[in-house]
């Protein structure tokens, strides 16, 4: 086993930090004695000084690591060129997977900022994002469709918008994430206007025309009125906006008036 031992020594040599994904206290303390440690998990059960909260259990280990790295860089725990060893539990409850990466191997996706620093609850953001992605993959009856979802700070969003038609959700108490409700969202997406969704996921309205001024909103060239409205409403409220583009099929997220996330549904 000498060769294996040498390989493991090489794997962890000259690293700037060790990332532990949801470790036990004993494991954390033993590793922290020998290395700089960043803990990534749903809660800081080991009382680590450097901790990145994981609001969702990303099933894909790559996405879990990406989220942890983005959070650590954003919080100043490591720099963008840091060499990292990541220890995670994939096949069991104990740490069983070792990965070595550089922080700059992950292009900044905006996922950390979207989930960790938004007013809306992370599972709500995930559910809305998944609706937009699925619409991007399948369209509406096989045809490309555009859609705009404004999530969070619903009261203020409603005050800065007006109805384009009747509101099918006016007296309902349905929430995004329910499979039947998601089918309704996809069906209504073929009509004009934005969906307004509360912090907790309640669907407040469909068919809303957003009225904040677009003056001063800077969006990439080639994006149209739907994206401009998304940028403007998130600048003037504490909402985020998730947009599916009918023209190029990409899903984009806006926060505080800026584009922070862009992804291709076919690669999500």
**3-state secondary structure at position 151:** strand
CA 153 to chain centre: 18
pLDDT single digits (tens) 16-59 = 889 998 777 778 888 888 888 999 988 898 899 999 988 877 77
Phi first, then psi, for residue 113 (nearest 5°) are -60, -40
Query: Would you list the domain boundaries of the chain?
Result: 2-108, 118-267
Q: Which residues, 6 or more positions from 67, have their beta carbon under 8 angstroms from its beta carbon?
A: 40, 52, 54, 58, 111, 112, 115
**151 confidence band (pLDDT: 50, 70, 90):** very high
Sign of CA pseudo-dihedral 182, 249, 243, 199: positive
How far is it, in rounded angstroms, from Cα 167 to Cα 233?
Answer: 19
Query: What pLDDT, in 10s, does the model give residues 73-91?
Result: 999 999 999 999 898 888 8
Answer for the pair 37, 48: CB distance below 8 angstroms, yes or no.
Answer: yes
Which DSSP category does 145 fall into?
-
Whether the pLDDT of residue 262 is over 90: the answer is: no
**Is the model's pTM score more than 0.85?**
no
Q: Which fold has domain 2-108?
A: Pyruvate Kinase; Chain: A, domain 1 (3.40.1380)
What distance lies between CA 251 and its chain's CA centroid?
12
Which CATH entry fits the domain spanning 118-267: 3.40.630.10, 3.40.190.10, 3.40.1700.10, 3.30.70.580? 3.40.1700.10
């Amino acid at each position: 086993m000498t060769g294996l031992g040498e390989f493991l020594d090489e794997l962890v040599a000259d690293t700037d930090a060790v990332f532990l994904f949801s470790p036990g206290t004993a494991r954390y303390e033993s590793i922290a004695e020998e290395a700089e440690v960043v803990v990534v998990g749903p809660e800081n059960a080991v009382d680590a000084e450097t901790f990145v909260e994981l609001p969702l259990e990303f099933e894909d280990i790559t996405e879990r690591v990406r989220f942890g790295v983005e959070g650590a860089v954003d919080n100043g725990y490591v720099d963008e060129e840091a060499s990292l060893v990541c220890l995670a539990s994939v096949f069991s409850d104990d740490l069983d997977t070792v990965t070595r990466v550089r922080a700059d191997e992950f292009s900044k996706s905006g996922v950390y900022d979207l989930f960790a620093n938004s007013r809306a609850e992370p599972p709500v953001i995930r559910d809305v994002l998944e609706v937009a992605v699925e619409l991007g993959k399948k369209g509406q009856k096989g045809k490309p469709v555009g859609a705009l979802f404004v999530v969070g700070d619903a009261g203020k969003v409603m005050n800065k918008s007006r109805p384009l038609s009747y509101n099918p959700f006016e007296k309902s108490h349905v929430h995004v994430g329910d499979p039947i409700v998601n089918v309704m969202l996809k069906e209504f997406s073929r009509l004009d206007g934005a969906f307004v969704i509360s912090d907790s996921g309640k669907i407040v309205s469909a068919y809303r025309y957003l009225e904040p001024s677009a003056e001063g909103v800077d969006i990439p060239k080639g994006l149209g009125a739907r994206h401009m409205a998304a940028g403007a409403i998130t600048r003037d409220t504490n909402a985020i906006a998730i947009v599916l583009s009918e023209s190029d099929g990409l899903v984009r997220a806006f926060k505080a008036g800026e584009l922070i996330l862009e992804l291709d549904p076919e690669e999500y």
